Amino acid sequence: MKSTQILTLSALSLVLWQSNGHAYAPPRGSYTRLCHSISVSNDGRTLNATCTLENGGGEFSTSLTLPCRGDISTYSGQLTCD
């Protein structure tokens, strides 16, 4: 019972922390294969990353407005919402 209460309080703390504009987790998506330095803005509305091309050439700083209802992928080094 006590461990359930601790888990519930931990989850609630995380929700409250996120609702105050802190530490939004990056969404899942195939973009993570080719991107690094992935972050979400403090307001949770923008995904930022540095992505490479499929062939490994070049790195591009890119951003995408959230939410994205489909898969987040990359096209020519840029984040896209499919």
Determine how many CB atoms are found less than 10 A away from the CB of residue 40. 18
pTM check: above 0.75: no
| pLDDT, tens digit (0-9, with 9 covering 90-100), for 3-54 | 444 434 344 344 444 555 567 999 999 999 999 999 999 999 999 999 999 9
Better-scored residue on pLDDT, 62 or 14: 62
Where do we find the tokens 């006590």?
A: 2
Residue 42, sorted as left (phi over 0), alpha (psi -120 to 50) or beta, turns out to be alpha
